[in-house]
Amino acid sequence: MINFTRAKKGLFFHLTVLGILFAIGLFLAFTKSYTVQQEPLGQWHLNLISKVLQPAEIDLLELDQQARQAGWEVALLLAKQGGFADDSECGKVAGRNLWNAKDKWCLPVVKEVASNLADQRITQNRVSFDQELLRARGENKIINAPGEKIQRYEYSTSLAVDLAYSFDEYGQLEQEARKLINDCAGKDSECIKSRMPRWWKLCGAEKNVFCVNSQGRYVIQDIPATYEFALDFSG
């Protein structure tokens, strides 16, 4: 005799299994159809790199190089002009700026002069020098890349570049110059030659015009840093 209760339970079980299998089949079918329409894996990241991050990095590298070039130009210009942007208030001797006129000293704060000159050469502002670093404050830039997903990247153009040169050398030069003036003011050229530091050289025939090689052995774009200036020993 057939047990209808057991048969109903078996039919229900088989229908349940078939329903589950059918649902899984539909899920897989729809999933496959959806996946085909999507972007390849990682495409968004590649677009982010090529259209956003890479242009930003190239821009920052160019800004760094512009600032470094400006810093080098200013360093060579000031060394040639004895730390002055223009003519010294104390006058000139043989085309070189005088640092003093008797007891009056005209040498400016060279870092401030350098900051002003560099500020005129780059897009950033508030230029300052910290040992061998040139620092400057820049604006924020934004890159918006086209695409189905929004790609917006904001970055700062403030910078700090290594010049491999320091304007701090002027501090040492000024100390040496003041000592030489104290030792030899009102005296002849023999005093100057015997008392000036051994790394100082006279420029040409003038007894009070100097060409001083960098004590830091700085070389800027293959040009050794040499400071040219004059001193007044009239006392």
Locate 16 and state its tokens.
């349940």
Examine the pLDDT at 10 and tell me if it is beyond 80: no
| pLDDT of amino acid 231 | 96
Tens of pLDDT, residue by residue over 168-177, are 999 999 999 9
Cβ distance 102 to 88 under 8 Å?
Answer: no
Tens of pLDDT, residue by residue over 173-214, are 999 999 999 999 988 889 999 999 999 999 988 889 999 999
Q: What is the DSSP letter of 40?
A: P
Q: Is 179 helix (H, G, I), strand (E, B) or coil?
A: helix
Identify the residue whose tokens are 């495409």.
43
**DSSP codes of every residue in 32-77:** HHHHHTSPPTTHHHHHHIIIIIHHHHHHHHHHHHHHHHHHHHHHHH
Mean pLDDT (the chain, rounded): 83
Locate 80 and state its tokens.
């040639």
* In the chain, domain spans: 43-230
Pick 31 or 85 by higher pLDDT. Answer: 85
Pick 165 or 24 by higher pLDDT. Answer: 165
Average pLDDT over residues 66-71: 96
Average pLDDT over residues 3-16: 43
Q: Is 11 helix (H, G, I), strand (E, B) or coil?
A: helix
Angle at Cα 5 formed by Cα 4 and Cα 8, nearest 5°? 85
Give the C-alpha separation, 158 to 213, whole Å: 33
Pick 100 or 36 by higher pLDDT. Answer: 100
Tens of pLDDT, residue by residue over 94-145, are 999 999 999 999 999 999 999 999 999 999 999 999 999 999 999 999 888 7
Q: How confident is the model at residue 4 (pLDDT cuts 50, 70, 90)?
A: very low
Locate 204 and state its tokens.
């040409």
Pick 81 or 143 by higher pLDDT. Answer: 81
Give the C-alpha separation, 141 to 227, whole Å: 39
| pLDDT of amino acid 208 | 93
